[in-house]
Each structure stands twice: as C-alpha cells, then as structure tokens.
Amino acid sequence: MKKIVLCAILTATIFAAPIDDFLKKLKIEAKKENPNFKGFSAKRGEKIFTSYHIGKKGKKVACISCHTKNLKSYGENIFTGKEITPLSPKANPKRLQDIKKVKKWLRRNFKDVYKREGTAQEKGDVLVYILNN
Ligand code: HEC
C-alpha cells in the first residue's frame, strides 16, 4: 500500500504541469538574453498574438489570423483551410501539455508571422497570455 501511495506522489510530481517547467526554463533563458528581464507579461503576449506583420508568402499575418481573437473558439489555418481546435487550455485540455509540440509550433508559427524564431521572453509572454485566456 505504501508503495502505491509513494508511486502516486512521484507520478504526480513528475507530471505536474509540464508547461510550468517549460516556463521556468524560458525564464532562465530570458534573463540571459536580457539582464533587465522582470518576468513574463500577458499584456506583451497579447500584443505579440494580435498584431499583424508581413509574414509567410508576403501576407499580412497575425497569430489571430489562424487562431482567432477568441482563444476558446475554433480557428482555421489560413494557408491550408484546415480547422484548428481552440488554443486555450481552458477550452481544450489537450493544449500546452506536450512541450515538444508547443516548441515545434511556436518555432513554426513565429516564422509564419515574424519570419524569425521568437525570443525566450516573447515565447514566455505569449504562453502566459494563452494560459490566461
Ligand atoms: C498559418 C496559421 C497559424 C498561425 C499564423 C499561427 N498558428 Fe499556431 N498553430 C497552427 C497550427 C496548424 C497548429 C498545430 C495544429 C493544432 O495543434 O491544432 C498550431 C499550434 C500552435 C500551438 C501549439 C499548442 C498546443 O499545445 O497544442 C501554439 C502554442 C501556437 N500555435 C501558438 C501560436 C502563436 C503564438 C502564433 C503567432 C506567433 C501562432 N500560433 C500563429 C496554425 C497557426
């Protein structure tokens, strides 16, 4: 019985919100990038998510072009027409669980919109914004 309880505790610890762990790592990176870094900001994240830039294929694109302004609603990939399930973990519990997937899509999606990868601070800001919405 003791073993089972211990196992459960260990499992809970190991699998405690991987996104929190990822944010901690981003924080360390962000401090290296910018010594004045004071923490992530959902407000800056909102700007990153909602502002338009000349992105992929010379098109004016924002994160909201595909994910929409309402993170709890379905979106659509403007390049392929494919449906995208809601980005908010509050509406879609599968979101921000698999850090490999999060990293891969942040890399791709920043390139789609900003034509470069996001900095650690930008990635943290936008993730905090998504988590709050
Ligand atoms: C051209 C359309 C498009 C744009 C623009 C776009 N995304 Fe995405 N995004 C996708 C698609 C497609 C996926 C992967 C399919 C899925 O998970 O539903 C995805 C997945 C993600 C994920 C993974 C979430 C998870 O855990 O499953 C995050 C985070 C994300 N996008 C953030 C952003 C941010 C931030 C921006 C702006 C810099 C952005 N996206 C712009 C289409 C887009």
Alpha helices, DSSP H, located in the chain: 2-14, 18-33, 42-50, 63-67, 99-114, 120-132
Residue 13 has pLDDT above 70, yes or no: no
Closest Cα to atom 7, ligand 1: which residue?
109
Class of the CATH domain delimited by 17-132: mainly alpha
- Say yes or no: CB of residue 109 within 6 Å of ligand 1: yes
CA of 5 to the centre of ligand 1 (A): 38
Mean pLDDT for the chain overall: 93
Q: Which amino acid is at 82?
A: K
Q: What are phi and psi of 21, to 5 degrees?
A: -65, -45
The pLDDT-based confidence of 17 (bands split at 50, 70, 90) is confident
Q: Which residues pair with 53 in a beta bridge?
A: 61
Could you tell me which residue, 2 or 29, shows the higher pLDDT?
Answer: 29
Q: Mean of the pLDDT values across residues 28-33?
A: 97
Domain boundaries along the sequence of the chain:
17-132
How many other C-beta atoms can be found within 10 angstroms of the C-beta atom of residue 53?
Answer: 13
What does pTM read for this prediction? 0.90
The pLDDT-based confidence of 15 (bands split at 50, 70, 90) is low
